[in-house]
Amino acid sequence: MTIQLRALTPCIGAEVSDIDLREPLSPAQARAIHEAMDRYAVLVFHDQLLSDEQHFAFTAALGPMEDARGSSLRNAADFRLPTAFADVSNLDGNNRVFAADDRRRLFAIGNRLWHSDSSFKATPAKYSLLRAVSVPSKGGNTEFAHMGAAYEALDAETKALIEDLVCEHSQLFSRETIGFSEFTAEERERFKPVRQRLVRTLPRTGRKSLYLSSHAGRIVGWALPEARLLLRDLTEHATQRQFVYSHQWRLHDLVMWDNRQTMHRARPFPANEPRDMRRTTLKGDAPTVEQVAA
């Protein structure tokens, strides 16, 4: 055995031990991690006191990475981290907590809606690796729902209905849901919708999953109200408790999840407390469907 695994729920998530992520990853360890991801979709590594460089190196050993720029309302002056990192903290470029009404914060708390990272990119994310550098005194859990298990629990009629559907994803749609709609012309252009299949197949296992995300706002060929209602119904189904693992963060946790077969959401925490979370992201292999200008 290269790593030790302990399942966290019957459906999703495992805790990994017997590995120090500061050390270079051996090919056998990388293989074991990919296999564990296929099976559990979420892996939790406790007590990993990593530098950003070590976090980056661990990620790079698992595959090609996304560049994090352009996906939030932070401008270059707000960047605290290397550009391979999504800054999931509530801190500005000077490490100060955003004011409660700060536009960058109000956009960022859209991550409390169930979503899959980078589903708004033509080639969406594979894995996300999120590391807790500081945690609030309470709240701030991240919840994960297994989209493969949710797909399998659908009735045959629904499976047939959705098999070939294509959705349009954009951060404009997810933010509209929470009443955040004041975007500049540049932001509207940058956040233009992309297309994604609604049912995906995981290449290595052949397992099908629902590719849902709060960024999904249209279904190609469908009237908007019907599309929104189907997406809402599927999301309600897919986020039932039996499909969910809720992660309570400890300092120096690193949690890795597969965006192709899970959704996740952040939970609230006191807005005046720092929560420093840093994410690297592995790039997906290819678009899920041919792109057409929206």
Q: What is the contact surface with Fe ion in residues (CB under 5 A)?
A: 111, 117
Which residue's Cβ has the minimum distance to Fe ion?
A: 117
Closest by CA to 109, choosing from 139, 68, 65, 79, is 139
54 or 259, CB closer to Fe ion?
A: 259
Least CB distance from residue 256 to Fe ion, whole Å? 13
1 CB contacts (<8 Å, ≥6 apart)? 18, 32
**Distance of alpha carbon 89 from alpha carbon 106, whole angstroms:** 13
- Give the nearer residue to Fe ion in terms of CB position, either 5 or 66: 66
| Distance in Å, CB of 17 to Fe ion, minimum | 25
Please, which residues bridge with residue 17 across strands?
4
Residue with Cβ nearer Fe ion (117 or 168): 117
Rg (CA), the chain: 18
* Contact call for residues 38 and 202 (beta carbons, < 8 A): yes
Cα–Cα dist 192/182, whole Å = 15
| Minimum separation from the CB atom of position 243 to Fe ion (A) | 17
β-pair partners for 168: 195, 218
Residue 31's identity, in one-letter code, is R
Phi/psi at 277 (nearest 5 deg)?
-125, 135
Side by side, the strands of the sheet bearing 4-7 are 4-7, 14-17, 42-45, 254-258, 125-134, 276-283, 86-87
* Minimum CB–partner distance for residue 197 and Fe ion (Å): 20
Q: Nearest approach, Cβ of 264 to Fe ion (angstroms)?
A: 6
- What DSSP element (H or E) covers 262? strand 262-266
Q: Of 55 and 162, which has the nearer Cβ to Fe ion?
A: 55
| Smaller CB separation from Fe ion, 2 or 111 | 111
Q: Which is nearer to Fe ion, 48 or 174 (CB)?
A: 174
Q: What's the min distance (Å) between Cβ of 144 and Fe ion?
A: 10
